Structures are given as C-alpha cells and as structure tokens.
Structure 1
Amino acid sequence: MPSFDISRSRFRLADGHMIVLSELAAGNPSPDEFATAREELADAGLVNEEGKLSPLLLPLMKTVLTPGVVITLEAAGRQGRLHHGMFIGEEHVVAHEAWPGTAEAEYSCVEPKMLVWKLADMVNLQQSSVARETAASVVETTIGAVEAGLAILEGEQVVRAADEEREAIHRALAAAHGPGEPTPTLLTGLISELRSSWRLTSAWQGLKGTEARGFAVWDCGPLGYWLRELPTEPVPEERITPAAPFRLVRVEARTIWTRITDLLPDAGELRKAADRRSAA
C-alpha cells in the first residue's frame, strides 16, 4: 500500500502507483489495468475522486516527468537485484530506493547540494572502513568465469559453511577456465566476501542526443572496493559474452567518491544542450 511521511517529504510507491500518477499528472486517464493502484492511492489520500494529485506530490512528479539528468543504480547481492536511482530537475532532486522483498520503493526529495552524499549513501560507501591487504590489486579473467563463481552464491543448494562455499567457488572458477594462480584464490575470496556489485549510470540529453557516463564497483567488505575496469560502463549487450575480458582493480573509497561526482554533467554542458534544443 502507498504511504507517505510529510516530515521528510518521502513516499512509498510501487511501479503501478507511479504509472497512475504519471498519467494523471500529464492530464491523461489512468490505465484500466491499474484500477487497483488508483484505488490504493485514493485510500492513502494522494489522489482525489477527480484524479487530482495531492499538492504533496507536485515537486516529486514534476521532477520525475521532466528530469534534466537521470541516474540509475543497479545493485546485485545475495538478496537479488535492486534498482535505485535519482531524477535531477531544475528545482528539485528526487531519489528512489528499493527494498528487498517489497513492491514499493521509497521516493524522497533531496537537497540538491546533498545529492552526491545521497548517492554515496545509496551504495553504502564507507570512507573510514579498514580493509585487509590482498596479494594483488588487479584481477583479470573472463565474464564467463566470474558468472560461474557468482552462480554459487545464487544457487538453489545452500552452502552452509564458509570454507565449503569457498571451495565450491574455486571449483566453479576452475571449471570455467578462470585465471591461473594466485589470482583464482583472490577472486574466490572476493566473490565469497562480496556484499554487493553495483553500477551507477547517468544520462541526459546532450548536443548529439542522449549522453551517458557510468562505472561499476564490487564492494567486497573486508577485502575493500574493486572498480570494474572491463567491461566499461555503459556496456552494450553485444559485449556481454562469456569470453569477454573482465578486470577488477582495487581502489580506495575516495576514488569512488570522485567517480560519483564525475557522473554529473556540469552546468555548462547542460546549458549548451538546452540552448541547442531551444534553437532546433
């Protein structure tokens, strides 16, 4: 069920609720197949009988419908995949965050000057965490080998002991013709300690159409952060093949902070793009 918190300008909404709100905000009737979602919005006091949106929703919906920059965050871990993101408009910034096992995501208004901090919080960036040293700072293998190792974490058979899990990962890497020693031992450890793998992508309308930037990271807990250099983001589908190269490089938290900051186009880029669109 949808709900909201006035004190913090945040809302819990499912995809169906957002579809209904988007259509109503645009002056269109809500789709018949989402009648239940509309009823739930009405029961929550977010939509009236005439289809008018609550004033509480206006900053959120204005930003979602006409963003200048869209940031997407796809995170994968032992609880499956979660999709988060951010809409950056002229006046407001709206973040949305999913929660494992629930249909609703939390939408909240973010102070524009705090959006980098918000993105860092979304990926659980820990500036002060102390990570163990590793034998190497670069891991090179193939996408096929990595997927074989990750499949152990997602398999139906539960591996109860940490040692058993590591052995299963190591065997999967060997069967997939993964890298030679000592890298498989390190890669086995990285997969076993993997808290989440995530990728951040920003997109906006530039001078030559849609422009995008992105990067991907493995958060391996006690083994630190690892930037995925290959394949680079954004990744075209044709490059996702088992034989494609895969490379991780260990980085500090401050490097990830810089990468998050660099995702955002500067004011000059957005102004030039807007001027170009206006002149077209």
Structure 2
Amino acid sequence: MPSYDITRPRFRLSDEHVIVLTELATGQPVPTEYRSAERELQQCGLVSEAGTLSVLLLPVMQTIINPVVVISLEATGRQGTLNHGLMIGQDYVIAHQSWPTEREAEYTMVEPRMMVWAIANMVNLQRSAIFDHAGPGLVETTMRNLEEGLLGVAGFPLDVSAEEERAHIRASLESTGTMADPELSLFADMIGELRSSWRVTAAWRSHRGVENGVTVRSFGVWDCGPLGYWHRELPAEPLEPGRVGPDSTVRLIRTDAKRIWAMLTDLLPADSEIRRAGP
C-alpha cells in the first residue's frame, strides 16, 4: 500500500502508483490495468475520488514529469537487484530508494547541495572503513570466469562456514582453467566478500553539434566488504546491449572511498552541458 510522512515529506510508492500519478498529473486517463493502484492512492489520501492529486505531491510530480538530469543506480547483492535513483528537476531534487522484497520505493526531497551525499548514501560509501589491502591491486579475468564464480555463491546455504563457501567458489573458478594464484585466490575472496556490485548512470538532454541529444555518464564498483572497493574498469560503462559476451574482459582495480566520491561528483553535468526545456 502507498503511504506518506507529512513531516519530511516522503512517500512510499510502487512503479504502478507512479504511473497512475503521472497519468493523472498530465491529464491522461488511467489505464484499466492500473485501477487497483489508483484505488490504493485514493484510500491513503494522495488522490481524490475526482482524480485530483494531493498538493503534497507537487514537488515530486513536477520533477518526475520533467527531470533535467536522471541518475539511476542498480545495486546487485545476495538479496537480488535493487534500483535507486535521483531525479534533478528545475526546482527540486527527488531521491528514490527501494527495499528488498518490497513493492514500494521511498521518495524523498533532497537539498540540491547534498546530491552527492545522497548518492553516496545509496551505495553505503564508507570513507572511515578499514580494509584489508593485501594482495594484487588489479584482477583481470573474463565474463565466463565471473559467472562461474558467482554461480559458486548462488543458492549456497547461508549456514555454512566462510571456508567452505570460499572453497566452493575457488573450485568453480578453477574449473575454467584460466586463472592462477595469486589472482585466483584474491578473486575467490572478493566474490565471497562481495556485498554489492553497483553501477550508477547519469543522463541528461545535451547539445551535440547542431542536433539535440542525450549524454550519458556511468561507472561500476564492487563493494567487497573487508577487501575494499574495486572499480570495474571493464566492461566499460555504459554497457551496450550485445557488446558483452563470455570472452569479454573483466578488469577490477582497487580504489577507495575518496576516489569514488570524486567519480560521483564528476558524474554530474555542469550547467552549461544541459539543454534546458523551452518555456
């Protein structure tokens, strides 16, 4: 069910609720398959029986309907994939964060000067954490090896020891016959400690010569817990459909929170790069 907290304000909305609100805000009829979501919005007081949106939703809907910059964050871990993001509008910045197994995501307003802080919070960036920096600072393998290693974790019981799990992952990697120590041991440890692999993408309307287009910036990181952060340099972001196969190179380079913070900052466009909508 949708809900809201008037004190901040913040809203819990599913994708279906957002579709309904967008249709109503733009004067469009709500598709039949979303009638149930519309009734839920009416029951919680965000939409009237006549289809009028609560004034509380004004900043959120203005930004969703006409964003200037859209930042999407895909974080994958043992609980599946979560999708978070930030929408930067003409007047407001709106963040949305999902929760494992829940339909609804939380939508909140963000102070514009705190945008990088908001994104860093979504990826749990920890500048003060203590990491084990022993071993190589670069791991290079293939997508096939990566998939074999991840299969060594998928479905593995949670009550087994770390040593048993690590041995299982190592055996999966050894089955390809293409990795050797010390990279093999380090990569097995990284997969075993992997908290999340995430990719963040910023997109905005821009000027490309005489034609208007879209500019995209993106990068990916592995958060390996005590083994620290690793920038996924290859496959390079943004990933394009059909460009990555089993033999594609995977290159992970050790990095730190300070560098990731700089990369998040560089992700955002300068005002001169953005094509503003006309009046």
- Which TM-score band (shorter chain)? over 0.9
Instruction: Encode CA deviations 1:130-169: one digit per residue, 9 max, x unaligned.
Output: 1012210000000110111112222265571211110111
The answer on 1:202 being equivalent to 2:190 is no
Structure 2-normalised TM-score? Answer: 0.95
Across the aligned residues of Structure 1 and Structure 2, the Cα RMSD in angstroms comes to 1.4
Aligned-residue sequence identity (percent) comes to: 50
For the residues of structure 1 that align with 2:85 and 2:68, how far apart are their CA atoms? 14
Query: 1:178 and 1:80 mapped to 2: Cα distance?
Result: 28
What are the ranges of 5 or more consecutive residues in structure 1 without an aligned counterpart?
Answer: none
Amino acid at match of 1:250: R
- Is 1:26 paired with 2:26? yes
- Number of the residue aligned with 1:179: 179
- Which residue is equivalent to 1:133? 133
Residue 195 to residue 56, structure 1, CA distance change in 2 (3 Å): same
User: Aligned to 2:127, what secondary structure does the other structure show?
Assistant: coil
User: What amino acid sits opposite 1:231 in the alignment?
Assistant: P
Q: Which moved more, 1:36-45 or 1:159-168?
A: 159-168
Q: TM-score, normalised by structure 1?
A: 0.95
- Superposed CA deviations along residues 168-224 of structure 1, whole A, max 9, x for unmatched, are 110111113342221000000000011111000000111131110000000011110
- Distance in 2 (CA, whole Å) between partners of 1:243 and 1:155 is 25
What residue ranges of structure 2 are gaps of 5+ in the alignment?
none
Equivalent pair of 2:156/2:165 in contact (CA under 8 Å): no
Report Cα offsets for 1:56-77 as digits up to 9, x if no partner: 0011011011000000000000
- Report if aligned partners of 1:140, 1:179 keep a CA contact under 8 Å in 2: no
Partner of 1:248: 252
In structure 2, how many angstroms separate the alpha carbons of the residues matched to 1:19 and 1:278?
A: 25
The count of corresponding residues between Structure 1 and Structure 2 is: 275
- Quick one: which amino acid aligns to residue 56 of structure 2? L
CA contact (8 A) 1:9 1:108 kept: yes
Q: Aligned in 2, Cα 1:74/1:94: closer, same or farther, shift over 3 Å?
A: same
Counterpart CA distance in 2 for 1:223 and 1:157 is 22
Query: Which AA in structure 2 matches 1:162?
Result: A
- Cα 1:178–1:106 change in 2 (3 A) is farther
1:238 to 231, 238, 242: 242
Instruction: Please report how far the alpha carbon of residue 240 of structure 1 lies from its aligned counterpart in structure 2 after TM superposition.
Output: 1.8
Bigger share in helix:
1
CA offsets, 1:1-60, max 9 Å, x none? 000011111100011111100100010111111111111100100000110100000110
1:103 maps onto 2:107 in alignment: no
Aligned to 2:65: 65
Instruction: Provide the secondary structure at the position in 2 that maps to 1:235.
Output: coil
